[in-house]
Structure 1
Amino acid sequence: METRFEIRDAEFLLVKLDYPERLDEMGALRVLAWKEEQGISPDFFSHKAWLDEDDLRAHHWVIIHNKEIVAAARLSFHKEYSSVPHADLFDASLLDGFCKGPYASLNRLVVAPQYRGNGFSALLDEARINFAAEQGIKMIIAQPVESRIKPLEDLGFIYLGKIRPLFQMPERQIYFMIKELGKQD
């Protein structure tokens, strides 16, 4: 799955990768893009790449410019809420009024600092949401930072509250949002 597009006379390519293609490059982009962000534990920047066990099971999308990954995001599938990354940091009883799985979770969205402001986050969100819908997913969970709440609401996500701090980001507030697929937006 590839989509070519242009921004300011530069050509980009949105690609869904096959595992484990370019996984180390995505992890390196996370370190590069997030090392200057406030509230993230510096321990995670002592390595060349920021990867975790969920990367091994997830689906990944990247945006490439001149053969270099400039943005990336992943989508994970879960039969039960308890297997969603950081499920233990949010009160699952708040999901009682919503459909029950299977679930997808949007995570690890990263855009290289010099490429921010080009709509890459929206392109990656739409690609992941469409893929989840094609796979029969009923509910997508997102755990964004504050700046991502409005864009996700524009895509039909509902804000449910804050989650307890992640150990990787002890001083950075993360929020909890959901989107039921198959409902009118």
Structure 2
Amino acid sequence: MVNISYGWKDSLDKEANHWVIEHEGKIIASSRLCMISNLNIIEENYHQFGLPVTGNYAFFSRLVVDSKFWKIGLAHRMDKVRLEFIRANNIELTLAWARKERLPSLHKLGFKNLGNMSLTFGTKKEIVSAVLLDCSSLVKGKALNYGNRKELNCF
């Protein structure tokens, strides 16, 4: 649940890591990485892609960059710091969803398409791409098999 009057909060904030970039004392970019062990605690329906309900998951979310600072690499810097955290903490699978314009940058980082999902923003429904970064081969020495998908490689 999002409570706008008190900021952009939900139940995942307690288990999440947050990063910000400041310029002249103001936050110009922020991102969040949620650590989850059960897909049932997030609203997005990743079950439809045959992923195990329980696991060692991270969830990319809430990447925001002030429009005055677009196109200078801040989103990429936020992605990199989250990937460094994922590596350092032996996270097996990282989930994200993306609109069309964000998808190429996630693909460059090694995320692979799972398929499309429908999300609701206020009263508006939108189709977005669900993506996965599989690092289980680094954690356990072998890639995870899920659904009918081929093995995926970690960054």
Same fold (TM over 0.5): yes
Q: Do the aligned partners of residues 108 and 46 (structure 1) sit closer, same or farther apart at CA in structure 2, a change above 3 Å counting? A: closer
SS of match in other structure, 1:51? coil
Q: Does 1:67 align with 2:25?
A: yes
Which one of 44, 49, 69 corresponds to residue 94 of structure 1?
A: 49
Q: In the alignment, what sits opposite 2:141?
A: none
Please give the alpha-carbon distance, in whole angstroms, between the structure 2 residues aligned to 1:129 and 1:46: 29
Q: Which runs of 5+ in 2 are unaligned?
A: 139-152
Q: In the alignment, what sits opposite 1:53?
A: 11
Which one of 69, 73, 88 corresponds to residue 119 of structure 1?
A: 73
Please give the alpha-carbon distance, in whole angstroms, between the structure 2 residues aligned to 1:101 and 1:45: 29
Q: In the alignment, what sits opposite 1:26?
A: none
2:35–2:59 Cα contact (<8 Å) kept: yes
| Structure 2 letter corresponding to 1:70 | I
2:118–2:128 Cα contact (<8 Å) kept: yes
Q: Which runs of 5+ in 1 are unaligned?
A: 1-43
| Structure 2 letter corresponding to 1:94 | F
| Structure 2 letter corresponding to 1:104 | A
Q: In the TM superposition, what is the alpha-carbon distance from 1:106 to its structure 2 partner?
A: 0.2
Please give the alpha-carbon distance, in whole angstroms, between the structure 2 residues aligned to 1:63 and 1:141: 23
1:146–1:173 Cα contact (<8 Å) kept: no
Q: In the TM superposition, what is the alpha-carbon distance from 1:135 to its structure 2 partner?
A: 0.9
SS of match in other structure, 2:20? strand
SS of match in other structure, 1:77? strand
Identity of aligned residues (%): 25
Please give the alpha-carbon distance, in whole angstroms, between the structure 1 residues aligned to 2:117 and 2:63: 18
Please give the alpha-carbon distance, in whole angstroms, between the structure 2 residues aligned to 1:169 and 1:64: 32
State the TM-score, normalized to the length of structure 2: 0.77
Q: Do the aligned partners of residues 79 and 114 (structure 1) sit closer, same or farther apart at CA in structure 2, a change above 3 Å counting? A: same
Q: Do the aligned partners of residues 160 and 169 (structure 1) sit closer, same or farther apart at CA in structure 2, a change above 3 Å counting? A: farther
2:134–2:154 Cα contact (<8 Å) kept: no
State the TM-score, normalized to the length of structure 1: 0.66
| Structure 2 letter corresponding to 1:143 | W
2:31–2:61 Cα contact (<8 Å) kept: yes
| Cα deviation 1:94-128 (Å, max 9, x = unaligned) | 234x8x62000000100011111111111101111
Q: Do the aligned partners of residues 127 and 50 (structure 1) sit closer, same or farther apart at CA in structure 2, a change above 3 Å counting? A: same
Q: In the TM superposition, what is the alpha-carbon distance from 1:80 to its structure 2 partner?
A: 1.8
Q: In the alignment, what sits opposite 2:94?
A: 140
By relative contact order (CA 8 Å, sep 6+), the higher-ranking structure is 1
Q: Does 1:154 align with 2:108?
A: yes
Residues matched between the structures, number? 137
Please give the alpha-carbon distance, in whole angstroms, between the structure 2 residues aligned to 1:93 and 1:156: 21
* Correspondence list, 1:13-24, <5 A: none
